[in-house]
Chain A
Amino acid sequence: MAAHAHAVKRYPGFWGWLWDWLTTVDHKKIGILYLVAGGLFFVFGGIEALLIRLQLMFPMNDLISEDFYNELITMHGTTMIFLAAMPVIFALMNAVVPLQIGARDVAFPFVNALGFWTFFFGGLLLNLAWLMGEVPDAGWTAYPPLATTAYSSHHGMDYYVLGLQIAGIGTLLGGINFMATIINLRAPGMTFMRMPMFTWASFITSALIVFAFPALTVGLVAMMFDRIFGANFFNVDAGGNIVLWEHIFWLFGHPEVYILILPAFGVISEVISTFSRKRLFGYSTMVFATILIAFLGFMVWAHHMFTTGLGPVANALFSIATMAIAVPTGIKVFNWLFTMWGGSIRFTAANLYAIGFIPTFVMGGVTGVMLASAPADFQYHDSYFVVGHFHYTIVGGLVTGLLAGIHYWWPKMFGRMLHEGLGKLSFWFYIIGFHLTFFVQHFLGLLGMPRRVATYLPNQGFDTMNLVSTIGAILMTVGIAVFFVNVVITSLKPRHAANDPWEDGRTLEWAIPSPAPEYNFKQIPLVRGLDAWWKEKMEGNKELPPAEPLGPIHMPSPSILPFIMGVGFFISGFGFMYNLVFAVIGLVIVLVCMALRSIFDDHGYHIEPEEPKKGEVAA
């Protein structure tokens, strides 16, 4: 991760390098920070997953204790969703969206850095639970009363509540930032209906974040007040009600599922279209389908609660609403297939992941429709069938999509091409391992295995399938390990990726050098249609038409304040658990930083654009 030429004052050596990364407000660098942090948490979550699978490899296995097992499942779920999947999504959004809309940066570069550091310190706080020996253990859904102090008296769930609260603030800031960026910073000519599909997906995802995360915030506040200040939201004896938590959690939680999957849809649309050399089939329908999915996503949360006892009317309504989501999703799948139809499909590693996504996600989608049927869900609910289903959507869908996106945009982010052979090898290990792991889990559920069990009795017909599942998990691990090897090998190679390394790039990011210069575009481009870069290439142009004359480029100054604010939140999180004085100190740090940011105007600095250098354009 080398830093490139920087026009502001830079300090030499390691500390200068570190300072550069701690203070950066450049969306491309923040994207890399998100990718590194997300990758780190992904490794944590992956180790947890592997331990879970090893424990379940044999009946009545005693590799790990029941307590530890519950800690593992809780941390695995929480880490993977909030600390691995979300940041990698933000990594791609940061790396790509400003480039795709022809912008120099996001709307709020400072807030962008703040969002990252807040997320990072929230995640760190949550994972410090391992070191402190008091680990969350009530499942990632944290249903009370199991998650209240009456049944979980140690600080484990406090780490969950406070860590997620802090990470959630970061995510909310990111969501607002990307909405504002996409609304206000599109290049001239880039109308909404000319935006690349990934940008659309990012826009809708950001909107979902803005409207869904506050509900989680309130849920976590209520849980925190219950746990720390003796409130009674979920205390049945004092008139509280546990179902409130389930409603609030899933009112956030279901949109969260679409927050996760929509960016993957966006990635697939880009990758498949590029490697088929064809424009996206039915672009406007795709946009409409995305909006519809997001809208319906808010009206289906109670399908996670069919067995809670909401009554037949609610169950019927939520069943039908849930089934309705299958329609726009189905439209998307067929539009991808017909994007490839008549195209000229190139099987790069990125495209393999994207193509692998389609059947895998379809299988996750159809089991989703099966789950939507409330009476049958009485059987599936909280069984391994559900585990199989949501791993098909979140791993088979989201993670596969993210891996496609990472392979696809890696040259734009780092200026180097990932090794194709290793990429393909990792794909085959990953996809075969994935299906081995999770396909059998549907049947385990149907044969009567509940989820979240630390072990199971022999002689119930579970043994073989659990063994197969564990072998699959090991294969998947190999696939991911090959990917990491690929990353390491690639980082050692020279940085010589071309502007448009896939040669069939369609959108604006492929018109500029890889990696993009600090200011992205020397001149803000004029966008003349959908797939703007493709259009220019087809007309024989070597560059985008500029929308402004060459001139000094204004850049925002780096700042250490976002990092300090993250630290402030971190201190305050600890303080809420152990000593309220520190909670206050942490929050005061945050407020003081906010005031400092307001008082001292950021005048930024200017980059004088040089004449095009030969070295900048790849030979």
Chain B
Amino acid sequence: MTENHSASQPQTQRHRVEGPQKHIVVFVLSMVLTIIAFAAVAAGKVNKLFVIFLLLGMAIVQAFAQMAFWMHMKDRGHFFPIIGIVGGVFVVIMLVALALLWTWW
């Protein structure tokens, strides 16, 4: 644990007024990924395994973008939020691996 700032100190943050541009970019990205995902399934003729990995990849990219920008996880002072989500995701990976392995077995 390298984190050693004293948390009881008020965080002095510089005032930056963010414009909406970044968030709109994330929105457009999310929309595009969503449309591609639905289109890939609606087309229905593509390789099944490829589509599944494409869908999962796009979902992860979209989720990542939304969490980084909309939920401000890219901002400073988000060490523990990241720990929280990463820890949760770690457990989820175990769980999902379990579900998949066990239904294949």
Q: Give me the interface of A with B, judged by CB distance under 8 Å.
A: 179, 183-193, 207, 210-212, 215, 243, 247-248, 251, 287, 298-299, 310-311, 314, 524
7 nearest A-B residue pairs (beta carbon): A191-B4, A184-B7, A192-B1, A211-B91, A211-B87, A188-B6, A247-B98
Question: Interface 1/0s, chain B 64-95, versus A by CB < 8 A?
Answer: 00000000000000001000100110110011
Alpha-carbon gap, A187 to B8, bound state (A): 7
**Total cross-chain contacts (CB, 8 A):** 52
Alpha-carbon gap, A186 to B8, bound state (A): 6
For B7, the chain A residues whose CB sits under 8 A away are: 183-186
Of B4, B88, B98, most A-chain CB atoms within 10 Å: B98
Instruction: Take A193-B1, A211-B87 as given contacts and tell me if A184 and B8 are in contact as well, using a CB distance cutoff of 8 Å.
Output: yes
Closest chain B residue to A309 by CB distance?
Answer: B105
Give me 26 A-to-B residue pairs in the complex whose CB atoms sit less than 8 angstroms apart, sorted by A's number.
A179-B80, A184-B7, A185-B7, A185-B8, A186-B6, A186-B7, A186-B8, A187-B8, A188-B8, A188-B9, A189-B6, A190-B6, A192-B4, A207-B87, A211-B88, A211-B90, A211-B91, A212-B91, A215-B91, A247-B102, A248-B95, A251-B91, A251-B94, A298-B94, A299-B94, A310-B102
A183 touches B1 (CB 8 A): no
Instruction: State the Cβ distance, A202 to closest chain B Cβ, in Å.
Output: 15
Alpha-carbon gap, A212 to B1, bound state (A): 22
Instruction: Take A207-B87, A298-B91 as given contacts and tell me if A193 and B98 are in contact as well, using a CB distance cutoff of 8 Å.
Output: no
For B4, the chain A residues whose CB sits under 8 A away are: 191-193
**Interface of chain A, helix or strand or loop or mixed?**
helix
Indicate whether B3 reaches chain A with its CB closer than 8 angstroms.
yes
Instruction: Take A192-B1, A207-B87, A243-B102 as given contacts and tell me if A251 and B95 are in contact as well, using a CB distance cutoff of 8 Å.
Output: yes
Instruction: State the Cβ distance, B2 to closest chain A Cβ, in Å.
Output: 9
Which residues of B (1-41) have their CB < 8 Å from a CB of A? 1, 3-4, 6-9
For A187, the chain B residues whose CB sits under 8 A away are: 6, 8
Closest chain B residue to A287 by CB distance?
Answer: B1
Instruction: State the Cβ distance, A312 to closest chain B Cβ, in Å.
Output: 11
Closest chain A residue to B83 by CB distance?
Answer: A207
Instruction: State the Cβ distance, B97 to closest chain A Cβ, in Å.
Output: 10
Instruction: State the Cβ distance, B96 to closest chain A Cβ, in Å.
Output: 11
A311 touches B6 (CB 8 A): no
Alpha-carbon gap, A207 to B88, bound state (A): 10
Instruction: State the Cβ distance, A219 to closest chain B Cβ, in Å.
Output: 11
Alpha-carbon gap, A189 to B98, bound state (A): 43
Closest chain B residue to A252 by CB distance?
Answer: B91
For A188, the chain B residues whose CB sits under 8 A away are: 6, 8-9
Instruction: State the Cβ distance, B101 to closest chain A Cβ, in Å.
Output: 8
Query: Besides the contacts A186-B6, A207-B87, what 16 more A-B pairs have beta carbons closer than 8 Å?
Result: A179-B80, A183-B7, A187-B8, A188-B8, A189-B6, A191-B4, A191-B6, A192-B4, A210-B87, A211-B87, A211-B90, A248-B95, A251-B94, A251-B98, A299-B94, A524-B8
